[in-house]
Each structure stands twice: as C-alpha cells, then as structure tokens.
Structure 1
Amino acid sequence: MKFSCNQQELSTAINLVSKAVSSKTTLPILSGIYFETVGDQIRLIGNDLSLSIETFMSATVFESGNIVIPSRILTELIKKLPNNLIEIEVNDNSVITINCLESSFKIVGLPGLEYPELPNIEDQNSFEIDKELFSNMIKQTSFAISQDESRPILTGALLEIENSKFNMVAIDGFRMAIKRAHIKTNLNAKAVVPGKTLNEINKIMSQVESKGDLKIAFDDKQVLFTFESLKVYSRLLAGEFINYTQILPNDFKSVAKVNTDQFLTCIDRSFLMARENKNVAIKLEIKDDLIKISSSSEMGSSMEKLSVALEGNDLEIGFNPKYLIDALKVIDSEEIYLEMINNVSPCIIRPIDHESYTYLVLPCRISR
C-alpha cells in the first residue's frame, strides 16, 4: 500500500474518525485507525464496537492495500507535520513509513484484514432531515439524557417517527425534554440512540461547514448517520423506552408567562448561593403578577423579583436551579409559560409562540 495526500486533509480525517477509537479497549486492533485504498480515495474508519465513524479523503494512490495504524501516535504525528504533501507506504510486515519533506517516521501497524466489518444497514428504514434542525434537536434534549447506567435505556434519546412527525425525547428521572419537528417521510418507526452517539454527531456536524440534509437509517440493532463523505454507525439501546406521553400533566392550576432571558438571569444569580450545597433548592413564589426567586445556604442568601403574567392560583414551589438553567439556555423563544398544578407535581416549561418544545421538571422540597 502506498499513497500521498495533503497534511491538513489527512489531519482532519484522522481527527473525525478518532472520536470512535477507544483508548481502553482490550482488542489492540481497535486502538488503531483503519486505512484502505478505494480508487483515488482513502477510506478511514474508527471503531469501538459501539460507535464507528467512516470517512473518505482524496489521495494519489500508487499501490492499493489496507492497514491499521495506532491512533494516538498517528494523530499527534500528522498534526505536528508541516502543511505539505505526506507520503505513506506500508511494507509486507505492516511497517508504515511516513515521509513529509525532510522528515521520515516508521510505525508498526496491524494487518487490515483483521479489522471488524462495519454493519450493513438497509436503506428502506431511512429518512432525511436538515442538518441544522437535527443539531438543534440534540442541543435542546441531550442534557436531559440520564448518566445512570443502572437504567441503560435512559442513557439514550428516543427518536420517534410517525405520520411525518419526528420527536426526540430524553428523560433522566428528574426532567424530560421533548423536541418535535416535521419531516417528509412515510416511515413509522422508533429507536433509542445512545447519548454519546448524539453528542459526537453534533460535534462532528459543527465541524462540517456545508449545510444540507442528514440521512438517518436504522434496523433493529444499529443506526447509520450519513452526510457528505462521512458515515457514523452506532448500536441502538435495547429495551422499551418510557411511555413519555403518560408523564405529561394537564389541567394546570397556575400558569405564569415570563421573559426567558430575564428569568434565566435571575435563576443564574440565585444559583450562586444554592450551588454551595447540592441539596439546596431555589424557591419561586408566584403571586400578584410577580415572581420572587430566593435561595439560601451557609454562604448567604438572595432574593430576585421579576414581573410575570399569572393566570390561576398563587404558588410557592422549589426547583433544582441547574435543571431550570439547562432548559432556559436552549429555549429559542422570547417568552415562556410555566405551567403548574401544585408544588409537588411536575412543572411544564414551553415557549409561548410554538409547540415544538416541551420541558418537564420535577419540583423539590424547599426549606422553611
């Protein structure tokens, strides 16, 4: 195997696929990046058996072949080489020679034939969605994905397609985030994608400058995300996701309309006092078209006042401030509704100008 390519293009491709390379694997071949010549391109793959990333880059191919090169040393080396032509050659003993200008390096690789095959996912269970829309859906839900491995199904987000409606749902036991979108598809299906996969997809898409559609295809066990020359494969989480529609309350007794940015700023300042003690909640006292936001800890106390439009009953209710801040930061609406039944039932936060986002948060006990 022998080819030459541009240093910056190679470094970019390596950085993309290396996100799926595990540094803790017990299989040495998975600690490397797979290289294969395909016509006048090089195919690169990173794979940890749960997440796989594949991309292609242009190259001048002199001799076809494949090889697995250790990821950590290759990533650092290519990054530090000058922006010039790099020539890579592999001999019969899997020794890789890397030349760039007057620099030359040798790395011991592994035969590419031993590298695991990527899954084959059929196209019939697939749909397309605008890349920026999907990125925004991840941003508005992923923070509510559970980190608790004792409930594996909640460590992912539900992707649900029905009658051209696409929902992404995340639940961690204390809050739930739902983002809705309309897409052109006849597909009716659902799958639970690991949070790690969604976060990596979002990071990768932010590095790709072009706009356009993302193609998503899946079967019973795997999902494939495709855009441009990049493919991301991931296993799906097995099990039944929570019936989230049954969790959503209705028949609210108190509904407050409040400015999103002002509310976020007040909560953020109150959090300064509450964060010294993880068990300290902030208290919201809603009455007379005012919301009083207070917190106290051993470090001190705070009190904020903010105008609201209240319909229904006055209410005192406590929340973990972080759970409010996480949602308020990603809501793209000038004003929101806080919809509540009482101080022990879930609160719904939603934008006033559209129904594409719903956030549910459980209240917590407030000290008197």
Structure 2
Amino acid sequence: MHFRCQKKDLVEGISTVQKAILGKSPMAVLEGIYIETGANEIIMRGSDIDLSIETLVSSSILEDGRIVIDSKLFGDIIRKLPDATVEIATMENNTILISCENSEFNLLYLNAEEFPMLPEIGNREKISIREDVFRNLIKATSFAVAQDESRPILMGVLFEVKNKVLNMVALDGFRLALRSEYLESNEDLSVVIPGKTLNEVSKILGDKNELLYISFNENHILFEVQNTKVVSRLLSGSFIKYESIIPTDYKLQFKVKRAHLAQSIERASLMAKEGSSKLIKLQIENDRAVITSNSQFGKVKEEVSVHMEGDAIEIAFNANYLLDTLKVMEEEEILLEMTSSVSPAIIKNTVVDNCIYMVLPVRLTR
C-alpha cells in the first residue's frame, strides 16, 4: 500500500473514525484504524463491533493495499506532523513508513483480514432528514437517556415514524423528553437507537442543510452523511409505551419566560444540598413562582413572574432535571402544567407544538 494525502484531511478522517474506537479491547485489531485504498481516496474505519464508523479521505493512490494501524499512536503522530502532504507506504516486516517533510516514522501494522466489515443493511427505503434538524433532535432528547444498565432499553432513544411524523423519545425513570419533526417518508417503524450512537452521530453532523440518510434492518441502523457512514446495533426489546405515562389533565397551568426561570433555578441550585438531589422548592401562586433552597450554608429565595391559571401549588424538583430541559428548549416563553406536589410536571412550547418534557417531582417531607 502506498498513498499521499494532505495532513488536514487525514486528521479529519482519523478524528471521525476514532469516535467508534474504545481503546482497550479483547481483540487487538479493534484498537486500530482500518485503512484500505479506493479509487481516488482511502477508506478509513473504526469499530467496537456495536458501533462502526467509516469515512473516505481524498488521496493520491500509488499502490493498493489494506492494513490496520494502532489508533492512538497513529492519530498522535499525524496530528503532530507539519501541515503538508503526508506519504504512507508499507515496508518489510509488517511496518509502514510515514513521511512528511523532514519527519519519518516507522510503525508496525496488523493484518486487516480480521477487521470486521460493515454489516449489510439491505434495500429498504432510506429516510432523509437535514443534518441540522437531526442534530437538534438528538440534543433535545438524548440528555434524558438512562445511565443505569439495569434497564438496557432505556439507554437508547426511541426512533418512531408514523403518519409522516418522526418522534424521538428518551426517558430514565425521572424525566421524559419527546421531540417531533415532520418527515417526508412513507415508512412506519419503531426502533431504539443506543444513546451513545446518537451522541457520536451528533458530533459528526454539522449545522448544514445537507441531507442525512438513514436506513435500517432488523438489527442495525445506518447513517450516511457526505463521505461518512455510521452503523450501529439497535437495542432489542420493547420501549415503554410513553404516551400512556404522559398526563393529559392538570390543575395549574402557567406561562413563564424560559431564560428568567432557568437563571433563577440555576442561582437557587447553588445553595442546594451537596449530592445528586439538588433539591429546590417552587411555590406558584398570585402570578409568581417563588423558588427556594437551603442547606447548612444558608438559604436562597428567587421570584419569577408567571401568568397562571388554576390552583396554587408547592412542589419540589431536582434542579438539574429542570435545567437540562430548559437548556434544550428554544422558545422564549414556555408553558408548564402541574396537578399536585407528587404528580409529574409537563413542560411545553407556547408556539410550536413539537415537544413535550416531563419531570417527576421530589416528594416533600412535612
């Protein structure tokens, strides 16, 4: 194998495929980057079996071949080279020579025969969606993915298409995030994508109008954007019937400026007790929300103007759960619905009906 390419293109390709490489693996070959020569490019691939990423890097091919090279060492070397043309050629004794201006490195490489190929996805209709739109969908839901491995299905995001609407749903037992987008597709499907996969896809996507193409089979999902493919295993099992757990009735409804509420909660949470609970209390009455928190260090009180309809309520939350939700919402004014101090709170937009967030309260002790 022998090729030349620009350092910046090679660095971009390495950074892309390294997102699928865990580091230490029982299979030494999975700690490496697969490189194969194509027509006028090299094919680079990283994989941990569950997730594989493949990208094309424009190159001048002098001799065909394929190798696997240690991901971390190869990446570190290429990033430190001068910003110039990099030349890579296989040599004797399973080594490659990396040359760039006055720098030369000799590295051992592994046999590429053992490296996993990308799974075949099949010929089902591809779903297309804009890069920036899908990136926003991931941002708006993936924060609510469960981190607890005791319920593996909740470590993924439901990807549900029906009646030309894409719903993406995540929940972890304490909160739920639902975001919807119109989709020009005749597919009706429901699969669960690992949260880790979506986070890596998000890093590859840009804020562009370019189309992302998505296709499936029973076990895998394929994302294709420009010169890059991401293939992931789907999670097996049935996702929770999320529609049945979202309350439709409420006794209190109020509108509030999202930024004002978020800033007040953030300040109040500074005084919340150390640890994961970050408990804050909200007293909503007389068109205002009074937010309080206290600990051994002192106490804090914040007031935010609201426009309310219904009964006054006192309720407590984990401040982080509220803040995570408010940070991914986009409208200036939002709507909150509550029933009691022990019932979930619903948070929605006031203009565009494309999201529902649900947060469970913390039970207050009297």
* TM-score normalized by the length of structure 1: 0.97
The percent identity for this pair of structures is: 43
State the one-letter code of the partner of 2:209: K
Give the CA deviation at 1:134.
Answer: 0.5
Aligned CA RMSD, in angstroms, stands at 1.2
Residues 157-168 of structure 1 mapped to structure 2, 5 A cutoff: 157-168=157-168
Residues 1:318 and 2:316 are matched in the alignment: yes
Instruction: Report the counterpart of residue 227 of structure 1 in structure 2.
Output: 225
**Aligned equivalents of 1:20, 1:302: Cα separation in 2:** 45
Which string of whole-angstrom CA distances, capped at 9 and with x for unpartnered residues, describes residues 79-136 of structure 1? 0000111111113642111111121111101111221111011231420011101000
Matched with 2:67 is 67
TM superposition outliers: structure 1 runs of 4+ over 6 Å: none
Pick from 345, 350, 353 the counterpart of residue 351 of structure 2.
353
Q: Distance in 2 between matches of 1:101 and 1:41?
A: 21
Equivalent AA in structure 2 for residue 214 of structure 1: L
> CA distance change for structure 1 residues 124 and 280 in 2, over 3 Å: closer, same or farther?
closer
Q: How does 1:146-225 map to 2 (within 5 A)?
A: 146-206=146-206, 210-225=208-223
Structure 1 window deviating more from structure 2 (98-107 vs 116-125): it is 116-125
Q: Which residue of 2 aligns with 1:36?
A: 36
What's 2:131 paired with?
131
Question: Structure 1 stretch 84-93 or stretch 101-110: which is displaced more?
Answer: 84-93
Q: Tell me how far 1:219 sits from its aligned partner.
A: 0.9
Shift of 1:279: 3.6
Alignment of 1:307 onto 2:331: no
CA distance in 1, matches of 2:83, 2:221: 36
The number of residue pairs the alignment matches comes to: 366
- In 2: Cα distance, 1:277 partner to 1:104 partner: 51
Gaps of 5+ in 1: none
- Displacement of 1:274: 0.9
Distance 2:275 2:226 in 1: 47
Q: Which runs of 5+ in 2 are unaligned?
A: none
Q: Residue 53 of structure 1 contacts residue 230 of structure 1 at CA under 8 Å; is this kept in 2?
A: yes
C-alpha separation in 2, matches of 1:286 and 1:124: 51
Aligned to 1:327: 325
Say which is worse superposed, 231-240 or 123-132, in terms of deviation: 123-132
Structure 2 distance, partners of 1:87, 1:135, is 35
For 1:41 and 1:303, locate their aligned partners in 2 and report how far apart those are by CA, in whole Å: 61
Whether the 8 Å contact between 2:254 and 2:309 is mirrored in structure 1 is: yes
Distance 1:301 1:73 in 2: 51
Compared with structure 1, are the counterparts of its residues 134 and 275 closer, same or farther at alpha carbon in structure 2 (3 Å cutoff)?
farther
* Cα shift readout 1:286-321 (whole Å, capped 9, x = no counterpart): 111111111111121111111111111111111111
- Asked if 1:271 is matched to 2:263, the reply is no
Deviation per CA, 1:248-294, whole angstroms, max 9, x where unpaired?
10121111111100000110000001152434521111111111111
Cα separation, partners in 2 of 1:294 and 1:124, compared to 1, 3 Å: same
Q: SS at 2:262's partner residue?
A: helix
